[in-house]
Structures are given as structure tokens and as C-alpha cells.
């Protein structure tokens, strides 16, 4: 009897289990966390509360089925003010971008704590941009990413917003993507990009790129094998 109950509840658990890693990340990020230029003061606080409740703690899926129209309306209601008139697309952008940033921050910090040296970027099928395609299956240094993410998190919210928007905007330009492609060697993103805050997902507002920790051998073993030729 109890076995049946466990089996039945498993799929639900995957969807709704509290994502403690992301929860901890949001606690760290919260004081200066940037959401959108028009969400400041109390509106920003209310939006973060909503995201924490609905997306961070529940680990709710952003892509695939995506947030329902009710969810978008719930955020509009929770925040009020100008956001009440935002289109579905704009509300969705706010939710996805913020949630992905929190999840990445949590992942990177956990990888550093677990002494992972490298992380891999895995691109997404949805509306992937050239930068996402250029970075698919490439590796970056966990320590370098963790340090720059902490620096960004410490910026006052307005500066943080400015910085993040700059990074995203530059990352979408053809020149940038081309220089990135030329700089990636053995699928490794040069530290000079990572340390400036580039090439760390999400790479744009509706980016579904994710990261995963990889064994040192997968990156460095391959590099030394290749360098023999």
C-alpha cells in the first residue's frame, strides 16, 4: 500500500519539491536583486515574493508548458502599479529572466562548494539566439563565474540592472558572437569573457540554457589529448 503511494507521488514531487539551492541563492541575491527597470521599491519586493513562492521554492518549470495565463495574472495582481499593463510577453520575460538568474547563481555556488572546476553550458531548443548556439556544449571555469556573479550581486540594484542589460545587449551583437566563436578553443570559454560577466546563462531574457558540473577529466583530459597533435 505505502509503495503505491510513493510511486504515485513521485512525478508530482519532481515538479514541486522545494529547490533549496535556488532558495538559498535568492536569500543571498535578494537585497540588490534586479528584475526590471520599472520594478523598484515595494513593487520589486512583491514581485520577488511571488517569484520565490511560485518559481524558486517550487522549482516550477519555466519552459515547455510554461506559466499559465493565470500565473501571469497572479504576478500582475501581486505587484500592481505599472506592471498591471505589461503584456504577457513582458511579464513572462521578467519571470523567466529572474528565475534563471537565481537558479544559475545557486548552481554555480553549489559547484564551487563541491570543488568543481568546470561547468558545461547546455543550450535549449526554444528560441535560442546565436550566442546560445555558440556556447552550447562549451565549458567555463566555475571559480571565475562564481566570483563575478558575487560581484554583480553586490552592486546596488540600479547599477546591477544597468550592468546586466549591457552584458545581454553586447552578447546579442554579431561582432561579439563572432569574436566569441574565434576565442573558444577546445570548447573552453576563455576566462577573459567569464570574468567580465559574459557567457554565463541566462544569455538573454527568455533563455533556457542551463549549466551542469563536469568532471575535470572531461575538459582537461580532452585538451591534453588534443594538444598532442
Q: State the nearest-atom distance from the C-beta of 22 to Zn ion, in Å.
A: 19
Task: With CB under 5 A as the rule, give the number of residues binding Zn ion.
Answer: 5
Among 207, 210, 211, 213, binds Zn ion (CB under 5 A): 207
Which CB atom, from 48 or from 207, has the smaller least distance to Zn ion?
A: 207
Strand partners, 152: none
| 186 torsion bin: left (phi>0), alpha (psi -120 to 50), beta (else) | left
219 binds Zn ion (CB under 5 A): no
Which CB atom, from 43 or from 92, has the smaller least distance to Zn ion?
A: 92
Q: Please identify, among the stretches 35-43, 183-191, 200-208, 211-219, the one whose residues bind Zn ion according to the rule CB under 5 A.
A: 200-208
Which CB atom, from 134 or from 203, has the smaller least distance to Zn ion?
A: 203
Which CB atom, from 52 or from 99, has the smaller least distance to Zn ion?
A: 99
Q: State the nearest-atom distance from the C-beta of 208 to Zn ion, in Å.
A: 6
Separation in Å, CA 28 to CA 6, 39, 82, 130, 149: 34, 19, 27, 31, 11
Which CB atom, from 111 or from 131, has the smaller least distance to Zn ion?
A: 131
3-state secondary structure of 94: helix
Q: Residue 56 has which C-alpha cell?
A: 524558486
Q: State the nearest-atom distance from the C-beta of 54 to Zn ion, in Å.
A: 22
Output b/e per residue, 193-216; b: 16+ Cβ within 10 A: bbeebbbbbbbbbbbbbbbebbee
Q: State the number of CA atoms in the 13 A half-sphere of 45 facing the CB.
A: 3
Which CB atom, from 83 or from 92, has the smaller least distance to Zn ion?
A: 92
Q: State the nearest-atom distance from the C-beta of 179 to Zn ion, in Å.
A: 18
Site string for Zn ion, 66-105 (x = CB under 5 A): ----------------------------------------
Residues 8-67 that bind Zn ion (CB under 5 A): none
Q: State the number of CA atoms in the 13 A half-sphere of 171 facing the CB.
A: 26
Q: State the number of CA atoms in the 13 A half-sphere of 185 facing the CB.
A: 10
Residues 128-157 that bind Zn ion (CB under 5 A): 128, 132
Separation in Å, CA 49 to CA 30, 95, 110, 139, 148: 10, 12, 23, 33, 25
What are the residues binding Zn ion (CB under 5 A)? 128, 132, 203, 207, 209
Amino acid at each position: 500500500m505505502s509503495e503505491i503511494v510513493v510511486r504515485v507521488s513521485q512525478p508530482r514531487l519532481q515538479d514541486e519539491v522545494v529547490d533549496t539551492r535556488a532558495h538559498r541563492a535568492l536569500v543571498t541575491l535578494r537585497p540588490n536583486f534586479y528584475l526590471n527597470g520599472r520594478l523598484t521599491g515595494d513593487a520589486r519586493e512583491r514581485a520577488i515574493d511571488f517569484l520565490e513562492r511560485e518559481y524558486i521554492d517550487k522549482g516550477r518549470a519555466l519552459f515547455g508548458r510554461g506559466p499559465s495565463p493565470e500565473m501571469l495574472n497572479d504576478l500582475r495582481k501581486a505587484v500592481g502599479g505599472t506592471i498591471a499593463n505589461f503584456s504577457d510577453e513582458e511579464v513572462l520575460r521578467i519571470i523567466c529572466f529572474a528565475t534563471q538568474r537565481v537558479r544559475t547563481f545557486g548552481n554555480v555556488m553549489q559547484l564551487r562548494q563541491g570543488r568543481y572546476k568546470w561547468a558545461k553550458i547546455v543550450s535549449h531548443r526554444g528560441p535560442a539566439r546565436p550566442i546560445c548556439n555558440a556556447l552550447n556544449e562549451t565549458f567555463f571555469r566555475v571559480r571565475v563565474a562564481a566570483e563575478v556573479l558575487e560581484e554583480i550581486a553586490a552592486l546596488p540594484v540600479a547599477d546591477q540592472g544597468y550592468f546586466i542589460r549591457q552584458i545581454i545587449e553586447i552578447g546579442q551583437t554579431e561582432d561579439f558572437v563572432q569574436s566569441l566563436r574565434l576565442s573558444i578553443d577546445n570548447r573552453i570559454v576563455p576566462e577573459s569573457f567569464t570574468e567580465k560577466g559574459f557567457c554565463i546563462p541566462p544569455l538573454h531574457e527568455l533563455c533556457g540554457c542551463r549549466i551542469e558540473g563536469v568532471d575535470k577529466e572531461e575538459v582537461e583530459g580532452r585538451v591534453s589529448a588534443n594538444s598532442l597533435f
